[in-house]
Structure 1
Amino acid sequence: MTGEMIQTIAKEFLQKMYGDANSEFNFSIGWLKRFKARHEIKSYRRFGESGSVVMENIEDALPQIRAKLENFDWKDIYNMDKKGLFYRLQILFVGLMLE
């Protein structure tokens, strides 16, 4: 979850709890840093770059991956981290949590 997502959710909570009474409240970068420190929220990298993989693991898994891909057309195969779909998935997940 990104800092921007935390700020957006906080704005939505403020709106739901108090309506427009606190419309001038600003969820600044400073507010975000204090919020993360207060709740011990730390940042971790969820997905690494291609250089961060262990090649032996890739060599073992590659035949299985190729066998699974034979069932799909090339136009239906995507490199997920290059399409921004993980970012969109996080937003969708947070949206579902708010409902």
Structure 2
Amino acid sequence: MHQWFKQARSKTLPISGPILKEKALEFAEQLGVPDFKASDGWLMSWKIRFNIKQFKVSGESAGVNLDIVDDFKTRLPTILGDYEMKNIFNCDKTGLFFRALPDRTMAYKTQAAKGGKVSKE
């Protein structure tokens, strides 16, 4: 379980308590441990054993490439040229991110909880 956790966090995947419990149940089934219960007590003990705490993901760790931004800003008037201002909308904040990953994750107490790119689907 700990090995899987380390691999998932090395890929900056957010790992929540329910995800850990579900994965533990999956491993228990594969290992033939029929009476394993992924309880809240099990999760708390597991986190203490490996010095893991839950954090809020601190956003995208990769910076924005300003050259790409500047290039797009110069091309934007051409892209929008045939549209009237009343028909141009910014829908950046209105999307429904139904495939979004959790914004909280488990991580080692000594490490930052950096996130990766957020899906725009």
Structure 2-normalised TM-score?
Answer: 0.42
Pick the structure with more helix per residue. Answer: 1
Higher percent of residues as strand: 2
In our comparison, the structure showing a higher alpha carbon Rg is 2
Higher-RCO chain (CA-CA 8 Å, sequence separation at least 6): 2
